[in-house]
Structure 1
Amino acid sequence: MTQIEESGPATGPGGPRAGGVPVIERMAAFRSRWPSEDGVAVFNRVYLAAVEAAERDRGGGGSGGREAATALGVRCAERYLSAVEAATAGGRVPECWHSLVRYRGHPGVRPVQFALSGLQAHVAHDLVLAVVDTCRTLGCAPADLEGQFEGVGDLLVSLEERVREDLTPGPELLVVADPLTHLLSCWHLERAREAAWTAARTLWGLRGFPSLAAEFRQRTDAGAGLVSRLLLTPCP
């Protein structure tokens, strides 16, 4: 849903747009680039399915609140897309996405781990910066976007549900694969969302202190990256 700079993508006729191309089209374009077992492809597949379902449910029409929610959602998605495009071009990616890109082909990492690692990076880093981007664009404060933040959170909940329903091994395998069971139970989306909201409000409060804001963004990225890496611990 943006990039690492302050500016972000715009919305326009034909649905949410990022960099002049609809977000859904950009995600769909990645499907043919990687094998299905590729770690980034796993996350992209479930993310795209969740976004497509949300777009169908959203329907036509719009209000100021809906436009703000769309803007926030697009900026969050653009953060992910920018990271993937940088990785594809051999460029530098945010630390939170580095492990998923680096270990995307690791044979000891399960698909559900790849997907949850991507979701962690997206919530703990991308969503934080997307809130600040949207506030700058719309000329508002985070408190004015709280409802829209919850709306984007609903999309993330549906994404997590798809991850756990489609990619989690059956109960009999989870009993055997105890390390995987432990990993899956250690990460909670709701706690990650709460932390993201606090981080976004803090970063917005630091906007008058550029050096502190830059350091906070870096620490947020590093912290998100640490958890994302732990979620990719190989399981026998």
Structure 2
Amino acid sequence: MAVIEVNDLRKSYKGHQAVNGVSLTVERGEIFGIAGPNGAGKTSVVECVSGLRRPDGGTVRVLGLDPHGGDRRALQQRIGAQLQEAALPDAIKVGEALKMYASFYDDPADWRALMDEWGLAGRKGDRFAGLSGGWKQRLFIALALVGRPEVVLLDELTTGLDPDARRSTWALIRTMRERGVTVVIVTHFMDEAEALCDRVAIIDGGRVTAQGSPRELIGQAGAGTASLEDAYFALTGRN
């Protein structure tokens, strides 16, 4: 069953066509990747899906609801998001942030239990500015989950992390899916998309250039293609 349906999505900024006819579906319970280079239009797609930006054309439905119409308030109670420019005040403490975000929802998770589940209890009194990149990302994931979402959108979650922190974050994303949450990740790392995703849409120049499971995309790229990164270069014509 599709929980996200995007049809012929279009979005421009000051004459630049950032998203040019993107169509995709995300099935319940999967990890779906939106992959491609920086500036491809990936973040604009996710911002339209989350309701943060209004598309210029096309349709978006999330859990059967329109994120840009009268359904927006109801939808915000059912999705979680960590977007690329996410940040918190430097002085806010981990526990304060979780308590504050819980107050935004009608039926939030127990933020104290969530803090324990995601290994943040020992950081409860730490200020955001003092957290390492890995701990910040762990906090952002917990914040995205505090509303008991059915769908979580994660944009460039591992950018800037060291290899150990990246691997730890991948494990957290898999745990989300195991708990029944549908996860959409945006990434420009093809190894990340291959490791995590059930299906991937490769976006380049505001268009979907290929879509399928990592194995299917590798197969589409032809003989001698060993990885999703190799397939990406073959399918997009990039060197």
TM-score normalised by the chain length of structure 2: 0.30
- RCO (CA 8 Å, sep 6+): is it higher in 1 or 2? 1
The answer to which structure has the higher helix fraction is 1
TM-score normalised by the chain length of structure 1: 0.30
